[in-house]
Structure 1
Amino acid sequence: MTADLPTYTETWPLLTSADRRRLDELDAAQREILERLLAVPADEVDAPLFAELQVERLRVYRTVVSHAGGRSSPPPAG
């Protein structure tokens, strides 16, 4: 990793309400998959792979960082 990439802590304040809702949806999907796997054999569960959920999660964060112009902190107020 390069030092110029923002950390999770630096990126979190840049997320919009829509971004946070999307991340909540991904978390809910992951929980739902785990709950189904507890009740049904894995080969009978039609669900996205966790890797696909992680790729989508990364897409949300990368979009936020690119819209922020690579900034690692919110712009100054005023």
Structure 2
Amino acid sequence: MSERVLVTGASGFIGPHVVAGLHAKGYSVRVAQRRESPVDEGIERVVIGDLSEPVDWRPAVAGVRHVVHLAGLAHAGP
């Protein structure tokens, strides 16, 4: 069984490349999403909601060995 990796920010600028690379190397990849959206075959997803609100991360990190945190605030106005 491969090690599971949680990736936040998987739909951002860098995220899809990281997810694809991890998956190609044989990792079991889980992506944390604000809302449900399509993911590639073989990629697991968990919907966590908006990060501006408190998040219960327990379901997202259950069984995860590594976390790649790419989520961040971008393109915010004044």
TM-score scaled by length of structure 1:
0.27
Instruction: Report the structure, 1 or 2, having the larger strand content.
Output: 2
Largest Rg, 1 or 2: 1
Instruction: Report the structure, 1 or 2, having the larger helix content.
Output: 1
